[in-house]
Structure 1
Amino acid sequence: MDVRRHVYQLIRKFKTDDPFRLADHLNIIIMYGDLGGKYGNYLKYKKSKFIIIDDVRTPAHLLPFVCAHELGHAICTSKDNTQWLKTYTMSINADKVEHTANQFAVELLLNDEYLADHADMSLYTIARLRGVPERFINLKCFKGHTLT
C-alpha cells in the first residue's frame, strides 16, 4: 500500500487533515478511557471500528498523533489484530503494522500542503506543533524519498 498516496486521497476527499474529523467522516468511533499504559488502541468489532484513546495517560500534545496512528491502523491495517500479534506472536508483522500506522500519522499530520503553508517554520517546529514525536519525523516522504 502506498500510504502517502492514500493519505493525500483522504485529505482531498474530506478536505481535512484532522485525524479526529477524518475518523468522524469514516464512521470510526472515538472513545476515551483508561487503557492502563497504552496511549491508544484500535479495535474492530463486527463491522464497527473504534479508536480508543487513553485520556488519563496520553499527554495533550500527543493526542493528534495518537489518533492519527490509530486511524492508520483502521485504514491501512484494519484486518490485523495488532494486540494479538504483539501478545501471542513474535511476528515481524507486528513491527510492520506499527511502522505503517506511524507512517500514516506522519504523512497526515506533516502533509506537503500543511508544510508549504508553514514554510517559514522548520520541520521540527511543525512536528512539535502537530504532536509528531521527533523520532518519527524520518518517516516523512518527500516525492517518494524518505528523510534520512
Structure 2
Amino acid sequence: MYVCGHELGHAILHTKINCTFLKQHTLFSTNKFENEANLFCSYLLVSDETLKQYSDYSIEQIAAIFCIPTELLIIR
C-alpha cells in the first residue's frame, strides 16, 4: 500500500517530472519530490480521523497496525 500510495503521489503531484530520469542522468536533487510523494501517501493511507481514533497509541503502534513505515506518520 505504501509503495502504491507513494507512486500515486508522484503521478498526481509530479505529472511532468520523471524522477527516475533525474536521479540517473542529472545532478538535480529529487528529495523535494520524494518528500511530497511521501506526504501525499501519509494522508492517503491514514486519515486525520484515524489518527484521532488511535490517539492513545504510539507512532510505532499505529505504523504496525497499518503496515506502513513510522517515518510516514512522523512527517504528518
Fold conserved (TM > 0.5)?
Answer: yes
Counterpart of 2:40 in structure 1 is 104
Match for 2:13 among 45, 69, 76? 76
Q: Distance in 2 between matches of 1:96 and 1:108?
A: 18
Q: Which runs of 5+ in 1 are unaligned?
A: 1-63, 141-148
Higher Cα radius of gyration: 1
Return the TM-score normalized by structure 1. Answer: 0.46
Counterpart of 2:68 in structure 1 is 132
* Number of equivalenced pairs: 76
Cα deviation per residue 1:90-146 (whole Å; 9 max; x = unaligned)? Answer: 212x11111111111112223211112333432321122222212333211xxxxxx
Counterpart of 2:27 in structure 1 is 90
Q: Structure 2: which amino acid aligns with 1:78?
A: T
Q: Relative contact order, CA 8 A, sep 6+: which one is greater?
A: 2
Q: Which runs of 5+ in 2 are unaligned?
A: none
Q: Distance in 2 between matches of 1:137 and 1:116?
A: 13
Q: Distance in 1 between matches of 2:51 and 2:72?
A: 16
Q: Distance in 2 between matches of 1:122 and 1:109?
A: 17
Match for 1:122 among 46, 58, 67? 58
The structure carrying a bigger helix percent of its residues is 2
Return the TM-score normalized by structure 2. Answer: 0.82
CA distance 1:110–1:123, change in 2 (3 Å): farther
